[in-house]
């Protein structure tokens, strides 16, 4: 029986030894029947036909791999769920996308790379929290000053060197394409170092290891902007600057020896270390190969060349270390703690992995993984990668295109034994390509990665639809658990009112309920105001009833504003100003729930032009911009009569100092926020100013109505009464002058006529204030018959 089974397996391409076959049979008997396979081989057309002829059963949903990737069955009512996609797609034509495929950007909380080790890593850096006397800074020594004044009797002061932190940190982040997967880790390490309290200052620089002139340094990691400078610029002769490089060792400069020369240059002058982001089992496949050595520190700080290095097993006279010691660390508390103690104290010993320069320069470079047809690439990856990595690749292909944050969420949802190392195998295995360039010029997007159609078809044939659906449910549950955390990446949720477009809903990596979507700050279509909802504008005041009928010429023209045609006309406009597209996208995602019109401006000049064309309720203005910065732009806004009352909120890339805060308020800002900002707080601040703008608009409308409506009616009544008074005064003065032609009577009559004429002049002046350009003509009853005759 076993011999017959082995013959069948050999003809199928599977050659197992006797022990392996027994293990397979034991596992088949011991495993539960409802457990899905870890990862099956790709179901190619020939193998599928052979399996069908032999009557072998297939996995549910695996009858048509292409159809499985396009339309996996869903047993949840679609009207209760909203698909969440990792990336949008550009429009293929000028026509608008249909409503089911439109999407809205939403800031989503993602997984932390150092969730449980963040606190312990901070504790591991405690040996570096030392304060030493700094002779460049002097402080008043009270005790010595009192003693000196008591001895000499003179008002003399004594000073002593101030105690300050003894190290500065230069954090170099390798910003190559492969390091996009570790961007979140680099951000968390930066935050950890800034909050550790061990360094005078933390300077973050980008490290380019892939160009022909590499290695080069830049001021901003992951930003191809500005000029580069040489690694020699970091050399500190005093040894007071610690150099920490965060990299995966994949760039060209790590393999050909150029990066080892730069690391040796730093290590000869100051403390230097490399933080390897890859798992330890993958270090041999990178350009940073290591070997463990026994290290003893000689003094506090200083260059690493001062360390005493010996072999951890053999005597010192048999093995000699003839290179520059550069420690390579894992982001774990144990490794970081040993290295921190070596840097901070003398006579400390530890076993650390040091970079083996000679081995990295002589070992063959890994072969390019993406060669040949897609089917051959997948088969090569299946043979070289672990089963967990192949299974993870199939799950990623089902929801691609994906961003690095979504990759981590999928890997986290699969759970043990799948870990970050398997994600690295997929990312560097040649199956994925950067798809951001496919939609360049159509829609601003972050970097995201996709599989080819053939690779996706083969990978999806290895997993049942039930397992893919279970993964999307787990991701949605984890998002619900993290909803109170700060958002870390942008995703796109299917929304009828969205401005972007996404693919088919079956490519979503999660299905969100309406309640969770509201907690993320996105209003669903059920929250949209109905079309027949009355306008929020105040009703105009009705004209007063006349005490007596008036002529047609005296009837007032209706000056009430026309009714608003749609809900779009009632929205206020918010201007977003920043020269970085990703920052504009983040602000749009945070403010989209306000249901107001968001207008972009990529420079200060464009913002001033936009403000000159329309009225805005609020301006969110970035301070750091190329060309005209935020302070200069705010000064121009406040200098113009049209825009001087528009509120401005400054957005800064760092925590603003008291001086910068004072300068912002002096420039005319009403508030400021720092990135990364809390979307809930930014949305609340913007809502306050939008509400104030709406109230100001209502007050202006009511004032206009009062000027053109009620005030005109009152003037008409006063004019009528004054006309009667003028007639009676004229008759009375005529009678008095006829009956008693004395000087006193004539003087009194003249005074009465002058008083009546003065009242008429005041009334005409009030009429002149009402007759503004575009206002209706004044009623004829405002003028007396005598003035009309004149």
- Domain identity same for 324 and 385: no
pLDDT band, very low/low/confident/very high, at 44 (cuts 50, 70, 90): very low
pLDDT band, very low/low/confident/very high, at 441 (cuts 50, 70, 90): very low
How far apart, in whole angstroms, are the C-alpha atoms of residue 584 and residue 54?
Answer: 59
How far apart, in whole angstroms, are the C-alpha atoms of residue 38 and residue 391?
Answer: 7
> Is 766's pLDDT higher than 70?
no
Q: What is the mean pLDDT of residues 340-349?
A: 92
Q: What is the mean pLDDT of residues 188-211?
A: 89
In sequence order, the β-bridge partners of residue 600 are: 576
Residue 39 lies in a domain: no
- Domain identity same for 348 and 413: no
Instruction: State yes or no: cis peptide before 676, omega within 30 of 0.
Output: yes
pLDDT for position 786: 42
How far apart, in whole angstroms, are the C-alpha atoms of residue 731 and residue 746?
Answer: 13
Better-predicted residue by pLDDT, 567 or 502? 502
- Domain identity same for 616 and 672: yes
> Is 67's pLDDT higher than 70?
no
Which of 196, 198, 199, 207 has the alpha carbon at shortest distance from 234?
A: 207
> Is 495's pLDDT higher than 80?
no
Query: How many angstroms separate the most distant Cα atoms in the chain?
Result: 150
Question: In this structure, are residues 579 and 626 in contact, taking their beta carbons and an 8 Å threshold?
Answer: yes
> Is 423's pLDDT higher than 50?
yes
pLDDT for position 442: 35
pLDDT band, very low/low/confident/very high, at 224 (cuts 50, 70, 90): low
pLDDT for position 745: 67
Q: What is the mean pLDDT of residues 649-665?
A: 83
DSSP 442: T
Most confident of 65-74, 291-300, 310-319, 623-632: 291-300
Which residue among 652, 686, 720 closes a domain? Answer: 686
In sequence order, the β-bridge partners of residue 104 are: 493
Q: Where are the alpha helices (DSSP H) in 241-372?
A: 252-255, 258-267, 333-344, 357-362
Residue 511 lies in a domain: yes
> Which phi and psi angles does 94 have, rounded to 5°?
-80, -10
- Specify the range with the lowest mean pLDDT, choosing from 329-338, 412-421, 563-572: 563-572
pLDDT for position 75: 39
Report the chain's mean pLDDT, rounded to a whole number: 76
- Domain identity same for 660 and 632: yes
pLDDT for position 169: 93
Q: How many domains does the chain have?
A: 3
- Domain identity same for 410 and 338: no
Residue 775 lies in a domain: no
Better-predicted residue by pLDDT, 532 or 282? 282
pLDDT for position 755: 77
> Is 693's pLDDT higher than 60?
yes
Tokens of 511: 């299905």
Which residue among 527, 559, 587 closes a domain? Answer: 527
- Specify the range with the lowest mean pLDDT, choosing from 82-96, 350-364, 417-431, 597-611: 82-96
- Specify the range with the lowest mean pLDDT, choosing from 11-20, 214-223, 598-607, 624-633: 11-20
pLDDT for position 171: 94
Handedness of CA 634, 636, 638, 644 (dihedral sign): negative
Residue 550 lies in a domain: no
> Is 275's pLDDT higher than 80?
yes
Question: For the chain, first and last CA: distance in Å?
Answer: 129
What confidence tens digit (pLDDT) does each residue in 312-323 have?
888 877 888 888
pLDDT for position 371: 55
- Domain identity same for 491 and 505: yes
> Is 775's pLDDT higher than 50?
no
Burial of 21 (0-12, 13-18, 19+ CB in 10 A): middle
- Domain identity same for 331 and 373: no
How far apart, in whole angstroms, are the C-alpha atoms of residue 8 and residue 14?
Answer: 9
In sequence order, the β-bridge partners of residue 701 are: none
What confidence tens digit (pLDDT) does each residue in 21-34 have?
777 777 777 665 55
CATH number of domain containing 628: 3.40.50.2300
How far apart, in whole angstroms, are the C-alpha atoms of residue 188 and residue 116?
Answer: 12
pLDDT for position 524: 61
CA separation, residue 345 to residues 308, 338, 481, 734 (Å): 14, 11, 43, 115
Question: In this structure, are residues 498 and 109 in contact, taking their beta carbons and an 8 Å threshold?
Answer: no
Tokens of 578: 């920043």
pLDDT for position 754: 76
How far apart, in whole angstroms, are the C-alpha atoms of residue 479 and residue 457?
Answer: 28
Tokens of 534: 């009355």
> Which phi and psi angles does 309 have, rounded to 5°?
-115, 130
- Specify the range with the lowest mean pLDDT, choosing from 62-66, 332-336, 707-711: 62-66
Q: What is the mean pLDDT of residues 33-58?
A: 41
Better-predicted residue by pLDDT, 30 or 134? 134
pLDDT for position 738: 66
Residue 723 lies in a domain: no
Domain of 664? 577-686
**pLDDT exceeding 70 applies to what percent of the chain?**
73
Burial of 176 (0-12, 13-18, 19+ CB in 10 A): buried
CA separation, residue 683 to residues 195, 479, 686 (Å): 27, 21, 5
Question: In this structure, are residues 309 and 294 in contact, taking their beta carbons and an 8 Å threshold?
Answer: yes
Which residue among 469, 502, 527 closes a domain? Answer: 527
- Domain identity same for 523 and 658: no
- Domain identity same for 435 and 336: no
How far apart, in whole angstroms, are the C-alpha atoms of residue 277 and residue 535?
Answer: 57
How far apart, in whole angstroms, are the C-alpha atoms of residue 351 and residue 310?
Answer: 10
> Is 630's pLDDT higher than 70?
yes
- Domain identity same for 499 and 605: no
Q: What is the mean pLDDT of residues 593-614?
A: 88
pLDDT for position 710: 57
Which of 329, 404, 425 has the alpha carbon at shortest distance from 177?
A: 404
**Burial letters for 376-404: b for 16+ Cβ neighbours within 10 Å, e otherwise?**
ebbbbbbeebeebbbbbbbbbbbbbbbbb
pLDDT for position 712: 61
What confidence tens digit (pLDDT) does each residue in 705-735 have?
766 655 566 666 677 777 777 777 777 767 6
Question: In this structure, are residues 214 and 261 in contact, taking their beta carbons and an 8 Å threshold?
Answer: no
Most confident of 356-365, 449-458, 508-517: 449-458
Tokens of 302: 């200083």
- Domain identity same for 377 and 518: yes
Alpha carbon 174 to its chain's center:
21
pLDDT band, very low/low/confident/very high, at 349 (cuts 50, 70, 90): very high
pLDDT for position 543: 37
Can you spell out the DSSP letters for 483-525?
TTSPP-EEEEEE-TT-SEE---GGG-SEEEEHHHHHHTT---G
Which of 116, 185, 128, 118 has the alpha carbon at shortest distance from 338?
A: 128
Residue 295 lies in a domain: yes
- Domain identity same for 326 and 372: no
- Parallel/antiparallel/unpaired status of strands 618-622 and 648-652: parallel
**Coil, strand or helix: which one is 561?**
coil
> Is 256's pLDDT higher than 50?
yes
How far apart, in whole angstroms, are the C-alpha atoms of residue 607 and residue 578?
Answer: 9
> Is 465's pLDDT higher than 60?
yes
Residue 556 lies in a domain: no
pLDDT for position 711: 58
pLDDT for position 741: 58
What confidence tens digit (pLDDT) does each residue in 152-197 have?
888 888 888 888 888 999 999 998 888 888 888 898 899 889 888 8
Q: Angle CA(672)–CA(675)–CA(679) in degrees, nearest 5?
A: 80
Residue 347 region by backbone torsions, left for phi larger than 0, else alpha for psi between -120 and 50, else beta: left
How far apart, in whole angstroms, are the C-alpha atoms of residue 637 and residue 641?
Answer: 9
pLDDT for position 38: 43
Residue 34 lies in a domain: no
């Amino acid at each position: 029986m076993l011999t017959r089974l082995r013959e069948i397996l050999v003809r199928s391409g599977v050659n197992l030894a006797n022990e392996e076959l027994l293990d397979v049979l034991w596992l088949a008997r011991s495993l539960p029947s409802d457990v899905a396979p870890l990862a099956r081989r790709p179901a190619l057309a020939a193998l599928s036909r052979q399996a069908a002829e032999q009557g072998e059963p297939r996995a549910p949903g695996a009858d048509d791999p292409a159809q499985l990737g396009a339309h996996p069955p869903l047993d949840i009512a679609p009207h209760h769920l909203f698909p969440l996609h990792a990336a949008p797609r550009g429009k293929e034509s000028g026509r608008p996308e249909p409503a089911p495929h439109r999407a809205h950007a939403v800031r989503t909380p993602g997984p932390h790379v150092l969730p449980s080790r963040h606190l312990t890593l901070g504790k591991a850096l405690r040996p570096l929290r030392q304060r030493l006397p700094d002779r460049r800074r002097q402080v008043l020594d009270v005790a010595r000053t009192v003693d000196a004044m008591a001895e000499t009797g003179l008002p003399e002061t004594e000073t002593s060197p101030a105690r300050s932190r003894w190290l500065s940190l230069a954090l170099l982040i390798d910003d190559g394409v492969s390091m996009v997967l570790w961007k979140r880790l680099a951000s968390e390490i930066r935050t950890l170092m800034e909050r550790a309290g061990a360094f005078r200052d933390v300077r973050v620089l980008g490290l380019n290891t892939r160009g022909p002139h590499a290695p080069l340094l830049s001021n901003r990691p992951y930003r191809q902007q500005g000029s580069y400078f040489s690694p020699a610029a970091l050399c500190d002769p005093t040894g007071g600057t610690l150099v920490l490089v965060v990299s995966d060792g994949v760039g060209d400069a790590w393999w050909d020896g150029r990066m080892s020369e730069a690391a040796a240059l730093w290590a000869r002058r100051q403390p230097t270390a490399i933080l390897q982001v890859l798992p330890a089992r993958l270090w041999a496949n990178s350009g940073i190969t290591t070997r463990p050595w026994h290290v003893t520190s000689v003094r506090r700080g200083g260059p690493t060349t001062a360390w005493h290095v010996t072999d951890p097993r053999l005597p010192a006279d048999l093995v000699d270390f003839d290179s520059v010691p550069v420690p390579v660390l894992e982001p774990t508390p144990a490794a970081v703690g040993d290295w921190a103690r070596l840097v901070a104290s003398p006579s400390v010993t530890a076993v650390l992995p040091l970079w083996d320069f000679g081995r990295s320069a002589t070992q063959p470079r890994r072969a390019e993984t993406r060669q040949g047809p897609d089917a051959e690439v997948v088969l090569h990856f299946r043979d070289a990668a672990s089963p967990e990595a192949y299974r993870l690749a199939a799950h990623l292909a089902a929801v691609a295109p994906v961003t690095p944050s979504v990759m981590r969420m999928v890997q986290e949802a699969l759970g043990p034994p799948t870990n970050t190392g398997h994600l690295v195998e997929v990312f560097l295995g040649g199956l994925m390509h950067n798809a951001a360039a496919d939609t360049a010029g159509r829609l601003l997007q972050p970097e995201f990665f996709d599989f080819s159609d053939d690779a996706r078809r083969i990978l999806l044939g290895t997993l049942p639809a039930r397992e893919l659906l279970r993964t999307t449910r787990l991701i949605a549950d984890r998002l619900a658990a993290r909803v109170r955390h700060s958002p870390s990446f942008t995703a796109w949720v299917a929304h009828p009112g969205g401005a972007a477009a996404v693919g088919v809903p079956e490519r979503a990596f999660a299905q969100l309920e309406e309640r969770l979507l509201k907690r993320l700050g996105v209003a669903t279509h059920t929250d949209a105001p109905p079309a027949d909802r009355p306008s929020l504008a105040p009703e105009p005041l009705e004209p007063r009833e006349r005490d007596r009928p008036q002529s047609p010429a005296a009837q007032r023209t209706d000056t009430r504003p026309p009714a608003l045609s749609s809900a779009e006309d009632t929205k206020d406009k918010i201007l977003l100003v920043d020269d970085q597209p990703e920052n504009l996208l983040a602000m749009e995602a945070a403010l989209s729930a306000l249901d107001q019109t968001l207008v972009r401006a990529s420079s200060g000049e464009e913002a001033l032009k936009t403000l000159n064309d329309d009225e805005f309720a609020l301006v969110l203005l970035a301070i750091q911009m190329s060309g005209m910065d935020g302070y200069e732009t705010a000064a121009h806004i406040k200098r113009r009569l049209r825009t001087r009352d528009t509120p401005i909120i400054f957005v800064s890339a760092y925590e603003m100092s008291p001086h910068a805060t004072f300068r912002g308020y002096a420039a005319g800002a009403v508030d400021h926020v720092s990135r990364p900002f809390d979307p809930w707080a930014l949305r609340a601040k913007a809502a306050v100013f939008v509400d104030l703008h709406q109230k100001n608009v209502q007050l202006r409308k009511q004032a206009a109505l009062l000027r053109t409506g009620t005030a005109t009616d009152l003037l008409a009544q006063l004019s009528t009464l004054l006309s009667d008074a003028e007639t009676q005064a004229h008759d009375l003065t005529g009678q008095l002058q006829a009956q008693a032609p004395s000087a006193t009577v004539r003087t009194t009559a003249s005074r009465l006529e002058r008083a009546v004429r003065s009242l008429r002049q005041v009334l005409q002046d009030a009429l002149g204030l009402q007759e503004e350009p575009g206002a209706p003509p004044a009623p004829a009853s405002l003028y007396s018959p005598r003035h009309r005759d004149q």
